Amino acid sequence: MDKRNLTLLTDFYELTMANGYFENGLKDKIVYFDMFFRKIPDGGGFAIMAGVEQLIDYLQNLKFDDNDIEYLRSKNLFSEEFLQYLQNFKFSCDVWAIPEGTPIFPNEPVIKVRGPVIEAQFIETMVLLTINHQSLIATKANRIVRAAQGRGIMEFGSRRAHGYDGAIYGARAAYIGGCVGTACTIADQEYAIPALGTMAHSWIQMFPSELDAFRAYARIYPDSCTFLVDTYNVLKSGVPNAIKIFNEEVVPKGFRPKGIRIDSGDITYLSKAARKMLDQSGFSDCQIVASNSLDEFIIRDILMQGAQVDLFGIGERLITAKSDPVFGGVYKLAAIEEDGKIIAKIKLSENAGKITNPCSKQVWRLFDKDSGKAIADLITTDEETIDQSAAYELFDPEYTWKKKVIENFRAEKLLTRIFDRGTCVYQSPDLQKIRSFCQQQINTLWDEVKRFENPHKYYVDLSKPLWDIKDRLIKEHSV
């Protein structure tokens, strides 16, 4: 991101509002914004936080260059005083984020911003764009990874991604979600995500015969030989020719074949038959790779039917999150400051689920000390602490009669400061650590929350003080 100026990758109304704030003497007004989402894609039980590193990059490079100023001047909408303000713009907000790889749930702040209203409002588009996209792909990738039950998932979607950044950052997010590697070479270069791949059907077609194509490939790459066996006929030519070349070109040089890939047809039937042929030929260690418009439901079904697949290559249905391709994060004002005092703000709606949670807030995850499993998330005001030595009563913020008293628990804050008055104070972990952290955190969720269909609802509750403030504001604004 530091190689290009993305400052004007914003909704135009952010600029017209900024000019309006400036002209009304509000540019230094301190406000609080929350980013949160309301619905988990695919009806799942949880989502995965991703994209924080790229958000940090954006905020660190946020400035208006001369071309930006000239463009805005040409619109004849903005005062020269406002343009001068932008010319000298320096990001100065405080920002908190839930760390990448953390399971996240609806209606809890995943990003919190405090600062002058022009700055805090202006970054809305990129906060949403960055976090929405990568969280969507990380969430989808993890569903597919879990469906594979320990078998590797390779991200193969670059050519079907929604643009260059969709391919690169999608590969990054998929790796966080648990994929073992990617076909996207630049993602390996930039993020050390293992670059993986075999060959295309065109390689086979370029030679006089399938056997010749396999032989040529094996002579160049005897130590990493995976053949695509479905160009003509998987069982009549592809697998027999692969076995022949394994015996003639790979084993004599002291190597073992890596695998075969099936990219069409009935994966269950073909993989069973291919496995039998390979095992009978002494290649029980040769892996079978499957691809071809797969997703978590197809993978689950073919494995239930006994498919003999060791690795899956997933393209379009992962990189575009095809089954539910929108992560509906929103960015809403939660409070303002007046004379050093925080004044809570709320947005009402006839739809109860769209009523926002006011105040500057913290998100806590409550864990059972005996099992280590997450019990619920709790949203509190910033000032609150949780006494972990005593029992704590949780209640549903919509159906308040639903209550639960928990004991023997520990409480962990989720929102972590990443910017302090415009200066980054957070060091993003390397991607491998984020990926490992993600798996560790998912393991704290009950299996019932991880179901693909009708998962158990993981509760996100409000503290009593925060609920009281929300209830008061609803009543005040409903008269």
CATH number at residue 176: 3.20.20.70
**pLDDT per residue as tens digits for the range 31-43:** 999 999 999 999 9
For residues 44 and 321, what is the distance between their CA atoms, to the nearest angstrom?
Answer: 13
Last residue of a domain, one of 294, 319, 344: 319
pLDDT value of position 4:
82
- Tell me if 201 is assigned to some domain: yes
Q: How confident is the model at residue 478 (pLDDT cuts 50, 70, 90)?
A: confident
- Looking at the fold, whether 289 and 334 belong to one and the same domain comes out as no
pLDDT value of position 84:
97
- Looking at the fold, whether 283 and 312 belong to one and the same domain comes out as yes
**pLDDT per residue as tens digits for the range 133-171:** 999 999 999 999 999 999 999 999 999 999 999 999 999
**pLDDT per residue as tens digits for the range 420-455:** 999 999 999 999 999 999 999 999 999 999 999 999
Can you tell me the mean pLDDT for 102-129? 98
For residues 441 and 374, what is the distance between their CA atoms, to the nearest angstrom?
Answer: 9
For residues 4 and 20, what is the distance between their CA atoms, to the nearest angstrom?
Answer: 28
Rounded percentage of the chain residues whose pLDDT exceeds 70: 99
- Looking at the fold, whether 235 and 381 belong to one and the same domain comes out as no
Q: In the numeric block, which tokens belong to residue 338? A: 């007046």
**pLDDT per residue as tens digits for the range 356-408:** 999 999 999 999 999 999 999 999 999 999 999 999 999 999 899 999 999 99
- Tell me if 365 is assigned to some domain: yes
- Looking at the fold, whether 161 and 310 belong to one and the same domain comes out as yes
Whether pLDDT at 352 is above 90: no
- Looking at the fold, whether 293 and 329 belong to one and the same domain comes out as no
pLDDT value of position 353:
84
DSSP conformation class of 90: -
Q: Which residue has the tokens 């293992």?
A: 194
Strand 259-262 and strand 287-290: the pairing is parallel
- Tell me if 6 is assigned to some domain: no
For residues 240 and 238, what is the distance between their CA atoms, to the nearest angstrom?
Answer: 6
Residue 402 main-chain phi, psi, to 5 deg? -80, 110
- Looking at the fold, whether 298 and 196 belong to one and the same domain comes out as yes
pLDDT value of position 341:
94
Whether pLDDT at 2 is above 60: no
For residues 107 and 103, what is the distance between their CA atoms, to the nearest angstrom?
Answer: 13
For residues 335 and 337, what is the distance between their CA atoms, to the nearest angstrom?
Answer: 7
Please name the helix (run of DSSP H) or strand (run of DSSP E) that holds residue 341, with its range, or none.
strand 341-344
- Looking at the fold, whether 42 and 52 belong to one and the same domain comes out as yes
- Tell me if 7 is assigned to some domain: no
Whether pLDDT at 479 is above 80: no
**Is residue 242 within 8 Å of residue 281, measured between CB atoms?**
no
The pLDDT mean for the chain works out to: 97
30: left (phi over 0), alpha (psi -120 to 50) or beta: beta
pTM: 0.96
Structural domain count, the chain: 2
- Looking at the fold, whether 167 and 276 belong to one and the same domain comes out as yes
Nearest-5° Cα angle at 188, 289 to 110? 100
- Looking at the fold, whether 27 and 145 belong to one and the same domain comes out as no
For residues 356 and 333, what is the distance between their CA atoms, to the nearest angstrom?
Answer: 9
For residues 289 and 224, what is the distance between their CA atoms, to the nearest angstrom?
Answer: 14
pLDDT value of position 1:
45
Last residue of a domain, one of 296, 319, 342: 319
Q: Which residues contact 286 (CB under 8 A, 6 or more apart)?
A: 246, 256, 257, 258, 259, 260, 278
pLDDT value of position 58:
96
- Tell me if 402 is assigned to some domain: yes
**Residue 380 belongs to domain with CATH number:** 3.20.140.10
Q: Which residues contact 5 (CB under 8 A, 6 or more apart)?
A: 61, 63, 65, 67, 68
Residue 329 main-chain phi, psi, to 5 deg? -65, 145
For residues 30 and 225, what is the distance between their CA atoms, to the nearest angstrom?
Answer: 60
Q: Which residues contact 443 (CB under 8 A, 6 or more apart)?
A: none
- Tell me if 2 is assigned to some domain: no
**pLDDT per residue as tens digits for the range 233-277:** 999 999 999 999 999 999 999 999 999 999 999 999 999 999 999
Burial 178-193 (b: 16+ CB within 10 A, else e): bbbbbbbeebbeebeb
Whether pLDDT at 350 is above 90: no
- Looking at the fold, whether 330 and 354 belong to one and the same domain comes out as yes
Q: Which residues contact 202 (CB under 8 A, 6 or more apart)?
A: none
Last residue of a domain, one of 300, 319, 338: 319
**Is residue 111 within 8 Å of residue 132, measured between CB atoms?**
no
- Tell me if 5 is assigned to some domain: no
- Looking at the fold, whether 147 and 214 belong to one and the same domain comes out as yes
- Looking at the fold, whether 380 and 303 belong to one and the same domain comes out as no
Residue 415 main-chain phi, psi, to 5 deg? -75, 120
For residues 186 and 210, what is the distance between their CA atoms, to the nearest angstrom?
Answer: 30
- Tell me if 205 is assigned to some domain: yes
Whether pLDDT at 354 is above 60: yes
Q: Which domain holds residue 429?
A: 12-137+325-477
**Is residue 288 within 8 Å of residue 259, measured between CB atoms?**
yes
**pLDDT per residue as tens digits for the range 207-234:** 999 999 999 999 999 999 999 999 999 9
Can you tell me the mean pLDDT for 296-312? 98
